């Protein structure tokens, strides 16, 4: 009798332990954090690294999008840069260019915005409209005008440094900007050619259209730790615009296709048209 009672107790204990383990497993699966919660935890434990990786991925995605748009415009004229694969097919993706934008996002934009946004939050805390407007005006008219020429300068340096890293076959196919501007082949001349008042002001004017309303929403409604993520989401299209702006010297490639140049060139390289695309779809930091 005693053995039967002990056996029943053991069986009951075993079943109860199994049932509790199943409940704990089911609760653990249902209590898994969402992506936003997971991302927020990473921002708390590794804020700098998380923001840098995010900015790099967004920057590369924006450049790939820009190259896809360019590919659609030049398919019947040939690729920008005139590069061909070994089988004669056109190469539309410049992976070095995408890598440069990822490096810029991770190494420059994310660290700069991390420090700058933190300073703005400490200097003008809260979400009142007074603090929101102060942060927005400072971001767009103090930080942004300094960021644009530095961005163009660093990107030009990366382009200059990457020219000697390709294979012999790729190095023989110089980029269009080198082929048409051999007299301005040194780094300083390239920076001066790109960092002009016209280029910077055009970038700033489009940026103000995008980022002033975006910053008002961000500083008013978005939590501080998620502000860089929000800016990167808006910055996806902004990176595509920067990719077009910094590579628009490839416009000369259209001159080699006179039969396509009049209509397609005007369509693709129209700054108002691209600016409209940026505003309709969306400091990429």
Dump pLDDT digits (tens) for 117-127: 899 999 999 88
Predicted confidence at residue 237, as pLDDT, reads 78
Identify how many contiguous H helices and E strands the chain contains and give both numbers: 14, 0
* Other residues' Cβ atoms within 10 Å of the Cβ of residue 235: 29
Give the span between the Cα atoms of 46 and 29, in whole angstroms: 25
What confidence score (pLDDT) does residue 12 get? Answer: 55
Predicted pLDDT at 189: 92
Looking at residue 79, its pLDDT comes to 46
Q: Of 250, 243, 252, nearest to 274 (Cα)?
A: 243
Low-confidence residues in the chain, pLDDT < 70: 1-31, 72-92, 164-185, 248-285
At 90, give phi and psi (nearest 5°): -75, 145
What are the structure tokens assigned to 230, written together?
């929000």
- Residue-level pLDDT at 259: 45
Residue with tokens 């196919």: 173
Residue 245's nearest CA partner among 271, 267, 266, 263 is 271
pLDDT, position 212: 95
């Amino acid at each position: 009798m005693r053995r039967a009672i002990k056996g029943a107790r053991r069986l009951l204990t075993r079943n109860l332990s199994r049932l509790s383990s199943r409940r704990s497993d089911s609760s653990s699966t249902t209590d898994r954090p969402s992506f936003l919660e997971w991302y927020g935890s990473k921002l708390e434990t590794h804020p700098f690294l998380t923001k840098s990786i995010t900015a790099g991925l967004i920057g590369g995605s924006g450049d790939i999008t820009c190259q896809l748009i360019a590919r659609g415009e030049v398919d019947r004229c040939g690729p920008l840069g005139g590069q061909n694969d070994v089988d004669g097919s056109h190469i539309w993706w410049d992976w070095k260019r995408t890598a440069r934008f990822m490096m810029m996002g991770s190494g420059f934009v994310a660290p700069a915005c991390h420090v700058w946004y933190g300073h703005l939050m400490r200097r003008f805390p809260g979400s009142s409209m007074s603090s929101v407007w102060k942060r927005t005006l400072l971001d767009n008219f103090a930080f942004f005008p300094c960021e644009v020429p530095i961005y163009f300068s660093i990107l030009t340096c990366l382009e200059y440094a990457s020219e000697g890293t390709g294979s012999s076959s790729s190095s023989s196919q110089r980029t269009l900007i080198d082929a048409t501007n051999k007299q301005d082949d040194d780094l300083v001349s390239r920076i001066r050619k790109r960092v002009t008042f016209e280029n910077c002001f055009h970038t700033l004017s489009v940026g103000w259209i995008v980022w002033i309303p975006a910053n008002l929403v961000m500083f008013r409604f978005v939590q501080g730790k998620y502000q860089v993520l929000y800016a990167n989401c808006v910055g996806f299209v902004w990176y595509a615009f920067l990719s077009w702006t910094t590579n628009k010297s490839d416009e000369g490639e259209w001159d080699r296709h006179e039969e396509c140049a009049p209509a397609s060139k005007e369509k693709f390289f129209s700054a108002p048209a691209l600016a409209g695309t940026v505003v309709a779809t969306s400091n990429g930091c």
